[in-house]
Structure 1
Amino acid sequence: MSRSAVSRGVVLVTGADLAPQAVLLLRGYELIYAGKTPGEDDLVRLCEEHQPVAIIVRYGRITKRIMDASRSLRVISKHGTGIDTIDVAAARDRGIAVKAAAGANAPAVAEHTWALIFACAKDVVRLDQRMRQGHWDKATHKSLELKDRTLGLVGLGAIGTRVAETALALGMQVMAYDPYASRVPSGIGMVDLDTLMAQSDVLSLHCPLTDENRHMINAQALARMKDGAILINTARGGLIDEEALAAALTSGKLRAAGLDCFEKEPLTAPHRFQDIGNVILSPHIGGVTSNAYVAMGTGAASNVLAVLETESTAG
């Protein structure tokens, strides 16, 4: 589509692609793709050159410097649910709307959460490695049975609720901590954070990262957890003090951990976690499925249109 044929403006996508369904929603806008790993300088240059009215955020951080590079910018729309990569305060100061595709990847992330829980409880990865080395550990190995165990959830939004539903179906006890929960499904007990830490056999994180909860899982929190508990994080890496977690895993305080997100991404090698046998790692792909890709793309595009078309109508 040529610039001359466009009357509504440019939408900058901080990635290399967007689902065809999302592209269709944005027909009439010119889409500019920043590539797979755009840095701040790349995004500033593209904003200065194209003056986008909207940014759809797939990768990279959106800083005040990037916002200031486009005088036309009206909305920043996350291709997903977590907006911690966007300077929300700076956007608010500039009158730029910030939107997230809430719930778009909830099924995918909830399923990946359970993949990590099962892998930790049943020692799937280590047993696979042992089998490939010629071992047969049937006489010595005991997995963790989840029935009647307690699942603790930090966050009871769309993802946490789906995780809870599966736990209840497995016969687990479910408790949650979420001071902002709009609804509490039947079968879930709401408790304070200290109680959740102390009573959970499996603790799973499903909350956004904020300045207030950064490193909420630190040495003191880990000390309050049950011996032999499992920790799962498919939310944001900054929720966990990684050095403290490494110590809890190597000491045997925790049975295992399953991590899909990290303080610095991509995970820099060498990293302590790579040498710890009872931590299972995945490269922040919990929400990466074909269905979620479409849902996040169309959700992000719809949020862009909701802001721009409302402004256009008001004008």
Structure 2
Amino acid sequence: MSTVLVTGADLAPQALALLNNMEVVYAGKAPTEDDLIALCRRHDPVAIIVRYGKVGVAVMDAAPSLKVISKHGSGTDTIDKVAAKARGIEVVAAVGANAAAVAEQALALMLACAKSVVPLDARMHAGHWDKATHKSLELGGRTVGVVGLGAIGQRFARMAHAMDMRVIGFDPFAKNLPDYIQSADLATIWREADVISLHCPLTDENRGMLNAETLAQCKRGVIVVNTARGGLIDEAALLAAVRSDQVAGAGLDSFAVEPMTADHPFQGQERIVLSPHIGGVTSDAYINMGVAAAKNLLAVLARG
């Protein structure tokens, strides 16, 4: 019986039903590279479903029968795709399976920043009533810059458009965009956006794309939302921009190092709203991503 290694502790029952003719082995909630290497040597999987951890050269070489690496989600930056290609291993992703969940998280973070939801809640619980002194930002009529116009970015753009926001977007690979998304280059987004929301994969070319230089080009008081990958933002530069009021607020669901390290400088900053990379973690998305990951790997295996 062929083996599928899951770099996590579980998989949706609907996904397991599709893999009922295969042995499914779990690596646990936080597998290290050594854990994955040991499991690959023991079980020689034909497929790996990637939930947590990284799959690099050493893991691939420990599994000589490996034919496909299937991401439980859309971002494949934790997989060494160059090494996989060199070994004839196909890399597939569950593109769009968590689009609704992540787009909703981006919307929630944008609204939380614009409406000061977190600090006002804390003040209210402490017994304060700031009606006379607080003004929130109205988003209708404002411009949102969406960087990355795949399934998630376009869904978020549709939500923003429904709120009467002007949507400008950058994605060199996007085609046939709806008429409410105005295509723009990054310089235009930095210059014109009241809100910037990141929805692109992390690559060597765009790592640190929001940094001291680009943040300085933005409107004073811009809101930054990132539900994509933490490496897209220079975290020290973002913190400095928040402290100087160049950035009015940031809503972040992903970070350069995950889990977030103890005493991270973002902690305690009331205008930085944090969530632990759970944008795609809903009960519906869990099923959708698991089923898509299973279907994708079976399709590759069926091709031989």
TM-score (norm 1): 0.96
Given the alignment of the two structures, is residue 45 of structure 1 paired with residue 38 of structure 2, yes or no? yes
Match 2:278 to one of 279, 285, 290 = 285
Given the alignment of the two structures, is residue 76 of structure 1 paired with residue 63 of structure 2, yes or no? no
The CA RMSD measured in Å over matched residues stands at: 0.6
Partner of 1:211: 204
Structure 1 residue 275 displacement after superposition: 2.5
> 1-side partners of 2:284 and 2:256: how far apart?
27
> 2-side partners of 1:46 and 1:172: how far apart?
49
> 1-side partners of 2:247 and 2:59: how far apart?
42
Partner deviation per Cα, 1:195-231 (whole Å, 9 max, x = no partner): 0111000000000000000000010010001001100
Partner deviation per Cα, 1:67-119 (whole Å, 9 max, x = no partner): 00011000000000000000000001101000000000000000010100110
Does the aligned pair in 1 maintain the 2:222–2:248 contact within 8 Å?
Answer: yes
Matched residue SS, 2:267 = helix
Given the alignment of the two structures, is residue 23 of structure 1 paired with residue 32 of structure 2, yes or no? no
Match 2:83 to one of 70, 87, 90 = 90
Given the alignment of the two structures, is residue 263 of structure 1 paired with residue 263 of structure 2, yes or no? no
> 2-side partners of 1:80 and 1:63: how far apart?
18
Q: Which runs of 5+ in 2 are unaligned?
A: none
Matched residue SS, 1:230 = strand
Given the alignment of the two structures, is residue 167 of structure 1 paired with residue 160 of structure 2, yes or no? yes
Given the alignment of the two structures, is residue 140 of structure 1 paired with residue 137 of structure 2, yes or no? no
Matched residue SS, 1:62 = coil
> 1-side partners of 2:224 and 2:194: how far apart?
9
Partner deviation per Cα, 1:15-70 (whole Å, 9 max, x = no partner): 00000000000111100000100000000000000000000000000010000001
Match 1:187 to one of 152, 161, 180 = 180
Matched residue SS, 1:102 = coil
Given the alignment of the two structures, is residue 298 of structure 1 paired with residue 291 of structure 2, yes or no? yes
Q: Which runs of 5+ in 1 are unaligned?
A: 1-5
Partner of 1:66: 59
> 1-side partners of 2:176 and 2:47: how far apart?
32
Matched residue SS, 1:55 = strand
AA at the equivalent of 1:236: R
Match 1:54 to one of 47, 52, 60 = 47
Match 2:27 to one of 34, 51, 55 = 34
Does the aligned pair in 1 maintain the 2:5–2:49 contact within 8 Å?
Answer: yes
Partner of 1:107: 100
Does the aligned pair in 1 maintain the 2:118–2:270 contact within 8 Å?
Answer: no
Structure 1 residue 276 displacement after superposition: 1.5
Matched residue SS, 2:303 = helix
Does the aligned pair in 1 maintain the 2:33–2:59 contact within 8 Å?
Answer: yes
> 2-side partners of 1:135 and 1:225: how far apart?
33
Identity of aligned residues (%): 61
Matched residue SS, 2:17 = helix
TM-score (norm 2): 0.99
Runs (4+) of structure 1 exceeding 4 A deviation are none
